[in-house]
Amino acid sequence: MSQTVDRALSILPLLAEGPADLGQVADRLGVHKSTALRLLRTLHEHGLVYRQSDQRYRLGARLFALAQEAMENLDVREIAHPHLVRLNESCGHTVHLAVYEENEVLYIDKVESRYPVRMYSRIGKPVAITVAAVAKLLLADLPEHERRAVAEKLDYPAYTARSTPSATAFLRELEKVREQGWATDLGGHEESINCVAAPIRGADGRVVAAMSVSAPNVVVTADELLTLLPLVRRTADAISGEYSGRTPVKGTE
């Protein structure tokens, strides 16, 4: 692996925290200012880094464009979207779509609740991996050793009293989820919010994404939310069918 590139790329997350000047960047990289300058220049030429009027550096527009493209390359998203919208129309709650990648679970699509009380989340934001229903489904599908490895590397923050407390508890939960083919999060992240989720599978049966419906207690109780499970699973299966090319897609051509 390349030292120079490694250093250069380390600058990006650093700048994501907020603008920084040359000295700060050099310090946090542990290199000489002149070195940092040259790295920043290179990043700048590629548009990943931008220099604002006070001379400080921040992430540049090119990065946003790339992120956009990366998103568009995820074709599950494209296929799933109309289904998510339809589900949202029929139940009214917030619908999420998430994928697993490199020890993280990320929301890649979201359809907002039609109720005034909304839950906070944002596309691109990493999910609370130890408690979210979608995360459970995605991790439960990993090969056994990998699953164990990931579970043991994670932190288990106690967001609420119902948060997953430890790696062993998490692995047990994953086993359960794996068998039943769906997952829930009942107040594990935020006291008053519940989710039910179902997996989306590719042609080989592997889970490629997971979707969930979330709603706060004040709108529907956990039990009421659970009655939506069949609908959520049907939707996920429909997406799976289309994604794996089993279901003929009606429409153009």
Partner DNA sequence: CAGGGGTGTTGCACTGTCTGCAACATTCAT
Partner DNA sequence: ATGAATGTTGCAGACAGTGCAACACCCCTG
Task: Give the type of residue at 9.
Answer: L
Contact 101, 139 (CB under 8 A): no
Least distance from a copy of itself to the Cβ atom of residue 237, Å: 14
Q: Is 126 in the site for a copy of itself (CB under 8 A)?
A: yes
Closer to a copy of itself by CB, 77 or 233: give it.
Answer: 77
Cα–Cα dist 164/156, whole Å: 7
Q: Is 174 in the site for a copy of itself (CB under 8 A)?
A: no
Q: Is 52 in the site for DNA (CB under 7 A)?
A: no
Torsion of CA 35, 41, 63, 122, to 10 degrees: 50
Q: Residue 213, class by beta-carbon neighbours within 10 Å (0-12 exposed, 13-18 middle, 19+ buried)? A: buried
Closer to DNA by CB, 12 or 117: give it.
Answer: 12
Tokens standing for residue 189? 């992240």
Helices (H), 181-244: 222-226, 229-243
Least distance from a copy of itself to the Cβ atom of residue 87, Å: 14
DSSP 3-state assignment of 169?
Answer: helix
* Interactions with a copy of itself, residue window 67-96 (CB under 8 A): 67-71, 73-74, 79, 82
Of the ranges 89-97, 212-220, 228-236, 243-251, which one interacts with a copy of itself (CB under 8 A)? 243-251
Provide the mask over 184-223, with x wherever binding to a copy of itself is found by CB under 8 A and - wherever it is not: -------------------xx-x-----------------
Burial 64-100 (b: 16+ CB within 10 A, else e): eeeeeeeeeebebbebbeebbeebbeebebbbbbbbb
Q: Is 53 in the site for DNA (CB under 7 A)?
A: no
Q: Is 22 in the site for a copy of itself (CB under 8 A)?
A: no
Cα–Cα dist 47/40, whole Å: 10
* Interactions with DNA, residue window 71-90 (CB under 7 A): none
Q: Is 34 in the site for DNA (CB under 7 A)?
A: yes
The binder of DNA chosen from 52, 53, 55, 73 (CB under 7 A): 55
Tokens standing for residue 110? 């979201």
> Length of the chain in residues, anyone?
253
Q: Classify residue 59 by its DSSP letter.
A: E
Q: Is 31 in the site for DNA (CB under 7 A)?
A: yes
Q: Is 42 in the site for a copy of itself (CB under 8 A)?
A: yes
The binder of DNA chosen from 9, 14, 22, 219 (CB under 7 A): 22
Q: Find where tokens 């946090």 sit.
A: 28
Q: Residue 113, class by beta-carbon neighbours within 10 Å (0-12 exposed, 13-18 middle, 19+ buried)? A: buried
Q: Which residues bind a copy of itself (CB under 8 A)?
A: 1-2, 4-6, 8-10, 12-13, 15-19, 38-39, 41-48, 50-54, 58-71, 73-74, 79, 82, 99, 101-102, 104, 106, 108, 122-126, 203-204, 206, 242, 244-247, 249, 251-252
